[in-house]
Chain A
Amino acid sequence: MAVTEDPGKPRNLSERIQALQDRAYNALFHNYVWQSIFRSGYPNTPRNQMLVVATNVFLHLHPTRIHRTHVKITHTYCLGGLTFFMFLILTVTGVLLMFYYVPSVERAYQDIAALETNVKFGLLMRNMHRWTAHAMVILVFLHMMRVFYTGAYKPPREFNWVVGVILLVLTLVLSFTGYLLPWDQLALWAVTVGHGIGGSAPYFGDETQLIVFGGFEVGPSTLIRFYTLHVIALPLIAAVFMAVHFWRIRRDGGMARPL
């Protein structure tokens, strides 16, 4: 990559500084180790700009080029991407919360209370987790409305819309299972309402309560079930559906566009 013509001998101070900068830049970014990580050069040419998207695992969900109408903010308001970004924040803050939380009826509440007072930035992490969780629910609804009102569910994107509906349900269930974990009055009785709703399912009411809630009332087995669902099962399932969702956007020809 280091294609530089010989500048000749530096004549004055500014040229000396320039030469020093170039050497430093080459040492940092044109060395063997750096180039083993980033195969493409600095993305300042069209070729490198495409390579950086195509060769980076995080960026390669994108195509390398995109129609110019799609980068207009008002076309999507970034709603789907922001929903996913909320998921990422929730994963990070959630992992931090897990360090201090034991999902047992005896300890759960006291752990949350201690997290708020004894742990540095514990309250901040919990607040972030709470508010981004609400935001994710709102954003997933707004994203669905955007897709609907721009007619983006139409062929060939039918199946991706169905995946989206599944992700909506998963988001709601993720949020609801997390609601119980602080084990305060708000949590217990909100989930008790949900427990009653689950029990009203025709024919499968009792089974729903036993399988999903772990009993005929909200108790220790509900807590451990919701915890396991919330921190591992549902995020994994949601991640799989998200992967399908993002993959299908490109397979179905990118974002919807007027015919």
Chain B
Amino acid sequence: MAVDTRAAPQPAAKARPRPKREREEEVLVWPDLVFIEFISAVLFTITFLMLSVFINAPLLNRANPEQTPNPSKAPWYFLNLQELLLHMDKAWAGVLLPTIALAFFAAIPYIDRSREGQGVWFGSKNAVRLTVISAVYAVIISGALVAFDSGDRTYTENLTRWIPSCNGDAQHQGTPCLRDEGDDHIGIVSTKDISKRLEFSIPWPNALLADDDSNLDWPEDLDHIGVPFNNICGNIGSFHLWCDMHLNIPSIMAEQVIPLSSIAFFAVAIIYVLFRIGWLRTKRDLFIVMFTAVLVAYLTLSMVGSFFRGEGQNLIWPWEIKVDEG
């Protein structure tokens, strides 16, 4: 019916090749794109139909609030948050870090406003090696951080076993010691132990302390420090703000300062190194490193949560996982 006029022969006089017009680089959506979409939809339908024929969705026993399975795990895409919960303050692990990550993702195009390198895979000069390096780095660092923290098989436990057990009766511990709950002496199992089990005292002028025993005892002298003006109470709606607020310094150290500064240190370190060797030059490069590292760390922690956490969320090998369903 309608004749394709684009195919009309050019006058012979204009033999010099001219740059192709935009229109000539285009194909029709029907059939070229619709066909691809249709085929991929069919392939995926068949694949999932087959998968569903052969593999059944899990259905365990009826939910029982009295029986806690050990370990109980979140869905795999939230297991990384559950993993973070073991290492740091729950507000940071569960809410603040994920929110920061998502806000960072959303902000990327508003900070990197360059238009270069779009529409092709890894369009900038060092994109591929930056991606590979930051992915490998994220796997190694997040894996190593897990191997050093939280679990009674961690390196840290081994390395800190020399710290003596605390004398239960002494008023001041003096040199650092670890308080043991059972009969066996174990080293530092998790960073959280720094505020929960580690104890020591140093001589300190009386005037600066609430108690007058001439000793600064970790953690009990520091776990209830009043915030300035905390006698002022305010409400916004139903939220109580700034009322009787106290800081637990040992817990802030163990669950916020140490884990967060570790993350920040390793992030800044790789960015600094890549910058100094000249591979990281633009905001796009910076974001390639950060985006890759965040995504790969997310995946790695999910893997750790899925395959390396057993009873009591202890670090174990995948073939040792047994779930006690309560």
SS of A interface (majority): helix
Q: In angstroms, how far is the closest chain A Cβ from the Cβ of B284?
A: 7
For the complex, is B56 an interface residue (Cβ under 8 Å from A)?
yes
B28 touches A184 (CB 8 A): no
Which positions 136-181 of chain A face chain B at CB distance < 8 Å?
137, 141, 144-145, 148-155, 157-158, 161-162, 165, 168-169, 172, 175-176, 179
Given A184-B60, A259-B115, A175–B77 Cβ distance below 8 Å? Answer: yes
B72 touches A192 (CB 8 A): yes
- In the assembled complex, the Cα of A191 lies from the Cα of B234 at a distance in Å of 34
- In the assembled complex, the Cα of A91 lies from the Cα of B27 at a distance in Å of 32
**CB-CB nearest in chain A for B85:** A197
For the complex, is A203 an interface residue (Cβ under 8 Å from B)?
yes
Given A66-B27, A113-B59, A131–B118 Cβ distance below 8 Å? Answer: no
Which positions 71-127 of chain A face chain B at CB distance < 8 Å?
71, 73-74, 78, 81-82, 85-86, 89, 105, 109-110, 112-113, 116, 123-124, 126-127
Task: Identify which of A81, A105, A154 gathers the most chain B CB atoms within 10 Å of its CB.
Answer: A154
B57 touches A183 (CB 8 A): no
Segment touching B, from A13-21, A26-34, A45-53, A236-244: A45-53
Q: In angstroms, how far is the closest chain A Cβ from the Cβ of B59?
A: 5
Segment touching A, from B104-112, B158-166, B195-203: B104-112
Chain A residues whose CB sits within 8 angstroms of the CB of B105 once the complex forms: 144, 165
A259 touches B59 (CB 8 A): no
For the complex, is A185 an interface residue (Cβ under 8 Å from B)?
yes
A154 touches B118 (CB 8 A): yes
Choose from A45, A112, A165 the contact partner of B59 (Cβ within 8 Å): A112
B26 touches A161 (CB 8 A): no
- In the assembled complex, the Cα of A103 lies from the Cα of B95 at a distance in Å of 28
For the complex, is B41 an interface residue (Cβ under 8 Å from A)?
yes
Chain B residues whose CB sits within 8 angstroms of the CB of A234 once the complex forms: none
Chain B residues whose CB sits within 8 angstroms of the CB of A10 once the complex forms: none
Segment touching A, from B63-71, B211-219, B271-279: B63-71
Q: Size class of A's contact patch?
A: 35 or more
For the complex, is B133 an interface residue (Cβ under 8 Å from A)?
no
B26 touches A67 (CB 8 A): yes
Return 7 A-B CB contacts under 8 Å, by A number: A45-B1, A71-B27, A89-B45, A124-B53, A185-B63, A196-B85, A197-B93
Apart from A184-B58, A185-B69: 4 A-B pairs, beta carbons within 8 A: A68-B26, A186-B60, A190-B73, A218-B65
Question: Ordered nearest first, which 6 A-B pairs have the shortest CB separation?
Answer: A127-B52, A197-B94, A47-B2, A189-B72, A200-B90, A188-B63
Q: Which A positions have Cβ atoms within 8 angstroms of B?
A: 3, 41, 43, 45-50, 52-53, 59, 62-71, 73-74, 78, 81-82, 85-86, 89, 105, 109-110, 112-113, 116, 123-124, 126-132, 135, 137, 141, 144-145, 148-155, 157-158, 161-162, 165, 168-169, 172, 175-176, 179, 182-190, 192-194, 196-198, 200-205, 207, 217-219, 255-259
